[in-house]
Amino acid sequence: MKSIAIAALLGAASAGRIPVKKVNMTKDMYNNQQNVINAKFLGGEHVTVKDYMNAQYFIEVSVGTPAQNFTVVPDTGSSNLWVYSHSCWSIPCFTHHLFDHSKSSSYKADGQAFDITYGSGGVKGTVGWDVAAVGDIKATMGFGEVTSVSGISFDVSSMDGILGLAYDSISVDGLKTFMDNAEVSDKSFSMYLHDTTEESYMVIPGMDSDNWTTIDSHKVVEQKYWALELDSVAQGTKKIDASKYKAVIDSGTSLLVGPKELVDPLIEGITVNADCSNISSLPELSFTIDQTTYTLEAKDYVLKVT
């Protein structure tokens, strides 16, 4: 059984890291991420993670020989790699990097239809085979060459595609994931995500044991998404039983989301002023997983839309 480790910072080091970018949240992006979520349920190599405006994280992935580089979302809530194709004529494809398979000596055509539908739209194309790389970690794999895009969520995002990091059991077309195909025996990975004031990064394989130590570890209870056993949620001292639910760790979104049965009592009575002036008086929200409780202060869960 695989597990999720919660790590604590020991020190700071930057050599060889692969950056992750983050992007600030807007009202449109908030609504679009809600739609995407509804449809889902897009010590080894150091990879920089870019923080784009405190709302999204990106890493750099290369595909083909010679390498063609793309900015993608490292997404633990999906399992496929896809990038925009040179044959795409949808609006986002005019402002993003495009994969041209005719320029890759290692490319092999497949032709199988590739189709992922989200609540606010979707992507369509065909499957191709080539070498993908994250830092120095390479994988020869099937991926989506997207030729058609629908939905505003793709128009407003800076991403050129998505790198799925969930299990292949939910992969479109039954394609193996990047980690399944990666040329490493250790298939683990870890993310160290901060706001724009600090560097974010991934380590593939393993974790940054020189700078962090494990403080909690939880078993993955369903090998589709990275799902953990959820015990309860609470608003201040008001506790709500959540034992019949699983909690999914999804790096592809910055939202906390759940069923009405849990969310309604969790946020009952919470009113945020338009200028967020009352944040200091709002209650803490907490989540208990395997009898371990994690708490969010109001500043961590209030979304300010300007």
Q: Exactly one of 28, 160, 250, 264 is catalytic; name it.
A: 250
Q: Tell me which long-range contacts 100-105 makes (C-beta under 8 A, separation of at least 24).
A: 100/68, 101/64, 101/128, 101/130, 101/145, 103/64, 103/66, 103/68, 104/63, 104/64, 104/65, 104/66, 104/68, 104/130, 105/65
Query: How many helices (H) and strands (E) are present in the chain, helices listed first?
Result: 5, 18
Cα(106)–Cα(115) distance, rounded to whole angstroms? 24
Handedness of CA 299, 228, 253, 20 (dihedral sign): positive
- Decide: 28 and 152 in contact? Cβ < 8 Å: yes
Two structure tokens written together for 45: 């190599």
Catalytic residue flag (residue 241): no
Helix (H, G, I), strand (E, B) or coil at 290: coil
- Decide: 100 and 86 in contact? Cβ < 8 Å: yes
101: Cα within 13 Å, side-chain hemisphere:
22
Helix (H, G, I), strand (E, B) or coil at 283: coil
Reference 301, options 259, 264, 269, 270; nearest CA is 270
Q: Exactly one of 51, 75, 130, 208 is catalytic; name it.
A: 75
Catalytic residue flag (residue 75): yes
By DSSP bridging, strand 68-75 and strand 108-118 are unpaired
In 224-282, at which residue ranges do the beta strands (DSSP E only) sit? 226-235, 238-241, 246-248
- Those residues whose C-beta lies under 8 Å from the C-beta of residue 35, and which sit 6 or more positions away, are 118, 119, 120, 151, 153
Two structure tokens written together for 291: 């009898």
Give the active site residues: 75, 250
